[in-house]
Amino acid sequence: MGHVGDTLTYAHIVGWGKYVPPKVMTNADISKIVDTSDEWIVPRTGIRERRIAGPKESAFTMGYAAARAALDKADILPTEVGLIICATATPEHTFPSTASLIQDALGATHAGAFDLSAGCAGFVYALSIGAQVIQGGGHQVILVIGSETLSRITNWKDRGTCILFGDGAGAVVLQASEQRGGVLSTLVRSDGSGGDLLIVPAGGSKLPASPETILRNQHTIQMDGREVFRFATRVVDKSTREVVEKAGLTLDDIELFVPHQANLRIIQAATRALGVDESRVFVNLEKYGNTSSASVPLALCEAVECGRIRPGDHIVLIGFGAGLAWAAATVQWGPPPEPRKRTVREKAVRAAIYPFAQIRSRVLRVWYRIESRLLGSPKPTSIDKDGKKK
Ligand code: UT7
């Protein structure tokens, strides 16, 4: 929470949405590509299947679908959104940001937008930043998205990593409120000395794409699984305790823990270290594998949908991964958003807003091309010897 003037402002989660590609890849399917088996994968990871993006799906399309579902759940128009943060390790492009593409497609014409890169901790990092912007009075409504197409950066010849990852997206809408609750505490941490443990070496400014980097598979995920495993079990326990204490609560006050869905054994080890019962920890990785920054919002959505989170519940979200980076948040779940009474005109605007956003985007794209042809490049401004512009 934060002070705005004399009043305390809280950041509540008032909408949530998810998208997963329809294509399912089972462990049996993977065993046809690399030398592995369901019998090896399930006991070591808990993963049974994952979703794989189709040719027309990407971090942008999935993030957009999840964001739209979250806005619909909150009954908030995209024009009311002040900021869009998209956590992703697999952005649509180096630039423009995936968040900007989503902003345009939604028609969120009053919103700023940026991507956030913090590996699998990205969504919880973004939630922490979004909550603090709201608590500081910066914006009233913020969209926080996690969207990943990890299948595009997976080395499908490496059985040590390709069994783990999947694609998908999740999103939440944060809204300012004077009612106590919402995001109560957050922490974000990093240890870059472990950067090499989980890395896509090429494609950045150090190793730009070249035939050599492609031949060496350097555009795909490389991981020291054992070390990442050790790091994860260490930080989940420690950061959960810290963030709960920061919220003025104890572990007994937490109804549900929603950790990053990387590996069931990591989650079980952390659960044991925390001394909490497994029934208080949400797991859905058997269906989706590790979807990096999409995993926490995907799990959060499903936990709400299946009634595992109820109004008033305290929950903890925990993300960890490449960076190394990790983050945690304590959230008090609010009452379900009250359906707004909308006039006929408002209902018509609501129904037309997304198709209109698409038309607007296309018209603007065409206009930028025409404007560029008609006007050519802007004339250079020269300055004479007296310092005056000519
Ligand atoms: O968001 C964070 C993302 N990262 C993680 O969550 C990763 C955390 N780490 C892990 O989940 C585990 O380290 C893995 C599941 C990736 C690997 O399990 P492990 O028990 O650490 O296996 P390992 O890499 O130590 O390999 C043990 C053996 C090796 O064979 P040899 O050399 O002992 O003969 C591997 O070649 O298992 C072999 N192996 C496999 N065998 C069948 C590795 N992957 C496979 C596989 N199928 N998919």
CATH code of the domain containing 172: 3.40.47.10
pLDDT for 4 equals: 59
296 touches ligand 1 (CB under 6 Å): no
> For a pLDDT cut of 90, what percent of the chain falls above it?
88
The average pLDDT across 170-197 equals 97
DSSP track, 14-39 = EEEEEE--S-EEEHHHHTTTSS--HH
Residues 250 and 368 in one domain: no
Q: Is residue 188 part of a domain?
A: yes
The pLDDT value recorded for residue 126 is 98
Q: Assess whether the previous peptide bond of 336 is cis (omega < 30° from 0).
A: no
Residue 275 lies in a domain: yes
Q: What is the pLDDT of residue 5?
A: 61
Q: What is Dmax (Cα atoms) for the chain?
A: 80
Q: Give the confidence band of 366 by pLDDT, cuts at 50, 70, 90.
A: very high
Q: What are the C-alpha distances in Å from 204 to residues 115, 121, 208?
A: 16, 20, 5
Q: Is the pLDDT reported for residue 38 higher than 80? A: yes
25/100 same-domain check: yes
User: Do residues 111 and 224 both lie within one domain?
Assistant: yes
Is residue 2 over pLDDT 70? no
- Split at pLDDT 50, 70, 90, the class of 378 is confident
Alpha-carbon distance of 173 to 194, in angstroms, equals 32
Mean pLDDT of 349-358: 89
pTM: 0.94
Of 226, 265, 320, the one to substitute when testing ligand 1's pocket (max ligand atoms within 8 A of C-beta) is: 226
What domain range includes position 190?
2-332
347 and 328 in one domain? no
Domain-located, residue 319 = yes
pLDDT at 383: 74
Res 85: pLDDT = 98
User: Looking at the predicted structure, is the pLDDT value of residue 379 above 80?
Assistant: no
Is the C-alpha dihedral spanning 297, 303, 309, 315 positive or negative?
A: negative
pLDDT(389) > 70: no
State how many domains the chain has.
2
d(CA 18, CA 251): 28
Active site residues: 120, 260, 290
- Residue whose Cα lies nearest atom 27 of ligand 1: it is 160
Split at pLDDT 50, 70, 90, the class of 354 is very high
Peptide bond into 374 cis (omega under 30): no
Tell me the per-residue pLDDT of 280-330, one tens digit each, with 9 for 90 and over.
999 999 999 999 999 999 999 999 999 999 999 999 999 999 999 999 999
pLDDT digits (tens, 9 = 90+) for 197-213: 999 999 999 999 999 99
Distance (Å) from CA 220 to ligand 1 centroid: 17
Q: Is the pLDDT of residue 1 over 70?
A: no
Residue 17 has pLDDT above 90, yes or no: yes
> Both 324 and 352 in a single domain?
no
Question: Mean pLDDT score of the chain, rounded to an integer?
Answer: 94
Q: What is the pLDDT of residue 217?
A: 93
In tens, the pLDDT along 104-123 reads 999 999 999 999 999 999 99
Q: Are residues 100 and 143 in the same domain?
A: yes
Mean pLDDT of 58-70: 98
The verdict on the CB of residue 293 being under 6 Å from ligand 1 is no
Does the beta carbon of 96 lie inside 6 Å of ligand 1?
A: no
- Closest protein CA for atom 48 of ligand 1: 159
Q: Are residues 24 and 86 in the same domain?
A: yes
Residue 338 pLDDT: 73
Closest atom, ligand 1, to C-alpha of 120: 1
The whole-number average pLDDT for the span 80-102 is 97
Q: What is the pLDDT of residue 323?
A: 94
Q: Could you tell which of 26, 36, 164 is best to mutate to test the pocket of ligand 1, judged by most ligand atoms within 8 Å of the CB?
A: 164
Check whether residue 24 and residue 103 sit in a common domain.
yes
